Structure 1
Amino acid sequence: MQLFGQDTSKVVNDITQLNPIKVNAIISPTSTAEIMVAVKNHNGPVSIGGGRYSMGGQTAVEQALHIDMRGFDSIICFSKEKKEITVQAGITWRKIQEFIDPYDLSVQIMQTYANFTVGGSLSVNVHGRYIGGGPVVLSVKEIKIILANGDIVAASPTENKEVFYGAIGGYGGLGVIVEATLFLTDNDKVERTDKVLLIRKYKQFFVDNIRSDSLVVFHNADIYPNRYRKVREISYRKTSRDVTIGYRLKPNDKKYRFNKFAFKIVSEFPAGKWLRQHLLEPILYIGKPVEWRNYEASYDVLELEPKSREKSTYVLQEYFVPIEKFDDFYPLMSEILRKNKVNVINISIRHAKQDPGTTLAWARTEVFAFVLYYKQGTKQANKDDVRKWTQQLIDASISCDGTYYLPYQIHASNEQFFKAYPNADSLFRLKKQIDPTYKFRNKLWETYYK
């Protein structure tokens, strides 16, 4: 285990570069035993980090012992027949894909980008573009977690279920997830189709054409800023046609120069958003390519990374509303974004089934997710502006019986947090039982648990 010592200059930051946090020490374990010893013997705060793609300090807190899980990334066991795999929590989804692809298997549920660690994804209870899917907890058979006293326990929907449903989507507050057993599925061939339609017609289109179509694997609809009147729906259906893209997984050595140039145009040029809608994407979506499911599930976040994040940075937010509230929410969202002149790059509409019981569930019913990708300045005035309109969006989602996603910048007031997550007190009570000295901490827990 690599120990960097008690140097307070050690800084943990996230992909936005907006949240540098000084910690006391960073360890990079490679075995479960090392994590157990470190947690048991450390009397101060402990924080846990993986790929650091959360965007609001959810992986660190000042003066903590920070456990960097990225070297803890082995495959423990695998069964092609059972379609199951057990992994150490620091493994990336890409590494799992590389292992299971030769067996014609695929991950059941994950986020769009494959760079994230499994433990981090479970801690925020991710979702993706999967139709018939939803929160990643639906694809988890069992986890093993190290508690504050150094003990390791197994948890599942039937064993230690309170810990299972608290730790998944619990943002590292109950302990260190060290192992996960995941359900797998077949690596089907999928064919892409797309269609541009008015946003006011999207909900009915989804209900009539997507929701009950068992052939649809991936689906999302991108809302075009700044008018927010049209969407392009993109769907991938199972097919028996021959693949037209030969790669099994996306090449991991690409530089993504065109992607980065396109993001620069859309975010900085006066006509950039018009060019995206009327020139770039009509060219991008020519044809109906056929590819492997694993190819479509292996995007690299490098395609989004700008040359610098010093003066401005790209950030995500996400809001969830029941599907029947779609037509109530999007006009509120559009008006808030226009009024505050938010530099929106894209808003992607996703779908998710109801959560099976995680304590901090963001999908308390079947929901639409609105994934907002935007650009902001890094000065304090810019941050203050973002806080203002973010709180407006949170109020809008709550007014539509919805909620907001917790892995992003921590702008919600205490009142908003508890309205959006009414079961938080149950998780806090469980934490007091199994972590009575408040060992596991990060900025999210510091904001609302204290």
Structure 2
Amino acid sequence: MDVLSVGGTVSVNAHGLDFRAGSLSSTIRSLRVMTADGVVHRVSPDVEPELFEAVVGGYGLFGVVLDVELELVDSEMYRLRSRTIEHRDLPEVFAAQVAGDDAVRLTYTHLSTAPGSLLQEAIVYTYERTGTDEEVPPLRERASDRTSRLVFNLARTGDLGQRVKWGAQKHVLPRVRGCLESRNEALREMEACMVARNQAMYESLGFLRNRLPQYTDVLHEYFLPHEQIVPFLDELRAQLGEHDAQLLSASIRSVHREDVVLDYAQGERFSVVLYLSQEVSEAGNEDMASLTRALVASSLELGGTFYLPYQQHYTREQVAQAYPRLEEFVATKRRYDPGLRFQNSFWVRYGPQPEERP
């Protein structure tokens, strides 16, 4: 299983629960990158911005990221709330009760994987400032990793497993998520779940360990305008009914436009993150490729985009449609690395046009 690194996280311009900050690029003060000629550049939004905007979200094609200076914020205690809604209500709930409430600092949404409510029921989680003087506890390992992995594996077994898994997400996992009961009487909610910011954003990745060799787990991610999230989820539900891949988890986050060349968000967008399971076989691979192509086409038709780091079942034309600055990216790559010292499968498949290749 791959683990996260600072350079890798910069290279994919990752994002998380802080929808107000957006992607990682908005928090980078500067970084040092060694380019193909051995020169070390310290770049930022104001210093060599062309190189900065290409390196962040540039998939390692411009050099080696040596170090990064990031904007940091203090960890603080938040009250964790959850509410169950219909998927069609998500845009309104997000606008009025999440983005419209300045107390809400982090958020994510889980979508149902149960057959009877597949992608039509959602749990919206919010982390809210309360003004409490609760002491921020040290960061600790999550106690729910083993339970989460068991829940994921249940989802592979079919309809019954999917129903059990969604029931566990709604009723079991909240009881093992490790929140603290507030001691602040001013809150008047002694059952309130208080979570430190750092703890809320921490993932050990232990629950992603798959010990079932006949299956492999695959990530997808699509970015949709808020008004198109419901049509996309409806199309996703239809496509899942036509394919063998099992949906283990579906979640939604929020991102916005950034000043990087390969920017996956062309405005305010909902990010739909899918965690799927497929059989390790030729038939399983083809089924996943077919599903991916259908969802990429749907996202583009609805004015959305798709994330590039995962399985490359999309076409160059689709990449160019989703990332309108692709040719600028290719030209910048040629200037900083004319000998093409840094390459990967994305560059080989989607970088230069065939007639431009040496």
Which residue of structure 2 aligns with residue 251 of structure 1?
Answer: 141
Which residue of structure 2 aligns with residue 314 of structure 1?
Answer: 217
AA aligned to 1:425 is: E
Deviations for 1:286-324, whole angstroms, at most 9, x for unmatched residues?
56410211111221011221224x321112110001223
Which residue of structure 2 aligns with residue 379 of structure 1?
Answer: 281
Residue 120 of structure 1: how far off its partner (Å): 0.5
Which residue of structure 1 aligns with residue 53 of structure 2?
Answer: 165
Does residue 366 of structure 1 match 2:268?
yes
Q: 1:143–1:180: 8 Å Cα contact kept in structure 2?
A: yes
Deviations for 1:393-426, whole angstroms, at most 9, x for unmatched residues?
0000001111100111111112211111121110
Which residue of structure 2 aligns with residue 289 of structure 1?
Answer: 193
Which residue of structure 1 aligns with residue 37 of structure 2?
Answer: 149
C-alpha distance in 2, partners of 1:228/1:278? 14
Deviations for 1:205-227, whole angstroms, at most 9, x for unmatched residues?
11110012221122111111242
The verdict on how the C-alpha distance between 1:432 and 1:196 changes in structure 2, with shifts beyond 3 A counting, is: same
Q: 1:196–1:233: 8 Å Cα contact kept in structure 2?
A: yes
The verdict on how the C-alpha distance between 1:174 and 1:279 changes in structure 2, with shifts beyond 3 A counting, is: closer
Which residue of structure 1 aligns with residue 124 of structure 2?
Answer: 233
AA aligned to 1:366 is: E
Residue 267 of structure 1: how far off its partner (Å): 2.1
AA aligned to 1:157 is: P
Answer with 147-156 or 264-273: which moved more. Answer: 264-273
Q: 2:155–2:246: 8 Å Cα contact kept in structure 1?
A: no
Does residue 423 of structure 1 match 2:311?
no
Does residue 354 of structure 1 match 2:242?
no
Percent identity, please. Answer: 25
Deviations for 1:172-197, whole angstroms, at most 9, x for unmatched residues?
11111111110001211011110111
Q: 2:152–2:165: 8 Å Cα contact kept in structure 1?
A: no
What does 1:138-287 correspond to in 2, within 5 Å? 138-225=26-113, 226=115, 227-241=118-132, 247-251=137-141, 256-285=145-174
Residue 434 of structure 1: how far off its partner (Å): 1.1
The two structures have a TM-score, normalised by structure 1, of 0.71
C-alpha distance in 2, partners of 1:277/1:263? 10
Deviations for 1:244-288, whole angstroms, at most 9, x for unmatched residues?
9x8521227x69332222211122254111112234522333564
The verdict on how the C-alpha distance between 1:207 and 1:382 changes in structure 2, with shifts beyond 3 A counting, is: same
**Greater helix content:** 2
Runs of 4 or more, structure 1, over 4 Å off, are none
What does 1:54-93 correspond to in 2, within 5 Å? none
User: Which of residues 289, 295, 308 is equivalent to 1:406?
Assistant: 308
C-alpha distance in 2, partners of 1:149/1:167? 15
Q: 2:151–2:168: 8 Å Cα contact kept in structure 1?
A: no
The count of corresponding residues between Structure 1 and Structure 2 is: 334
Deviations for 1:326-363, whole angstroms, at most 9, x for unmatched residues?
233222222112222430011101111221x1000001
C-alpha distance in 1, partners of 2:329/2:168? 48
Deviations for 1:10-56, whole angstroms, at most 9, x for unmatched residues?
xxxxx3xxxxxxxxxxxxxxxxxxxxxxxxxxxxxxxxxxxx4xxxx
C-alpha distance in 1, partners of 2:11/2:311? 16
The two structures have a TM-score, normalised by structure 2, of 0.88
C-alpha RMSD of matched pairs (Å)? 1.9
Which residue of structure 2 aligns with residue 324 of structure 1?
Answer: 227
Which residue of structure 1 aligns with residue 239 of structure 2?
Answer: 336
C-alpha distance in 1, partners of 2:47/2:168? 54
Deviations for 1:148-206, whole angstroms, at most 9, x for unmatched residues?
11111111111100000000000011111111110001211011110111111111111
Deviations for 1:97-156, whole angstroms, at most 9, x for unmatched residues?
xxxxxxxxxxxxxxxxxx511110100000001131211100000011111111111111
C-alpha distance in 1, partners of 2:133/2:280? 47
- Structure 1's unaligned 5+ residue stretches are 1-14, 16-51, 53-114
C-alpha distance in 2, partners of 1:327/1:260? 28
Which residue of structure 1 aligns with residue 208 of structure 2?
Answer: 304
Residue 243 of structure 1: how far off its partner (Å): 5.3
SS in 2 for 1:422: coil
Q: 1:131–1:216: 8 Å Cα contact kept in structure 2?
A: no
AA aligned to 2:297 is: D
AA aligned to 1:165 is: E
SS in 2 for 1:333: helix
C-alpha distance in 2, partners of 1:220/1:381? 33
What does 1:105-144 correspond to in 2, within 5 Å? 116-144=4-32
- Structure 2's unaligned 5+ residue stretches are 176-190, 353-358
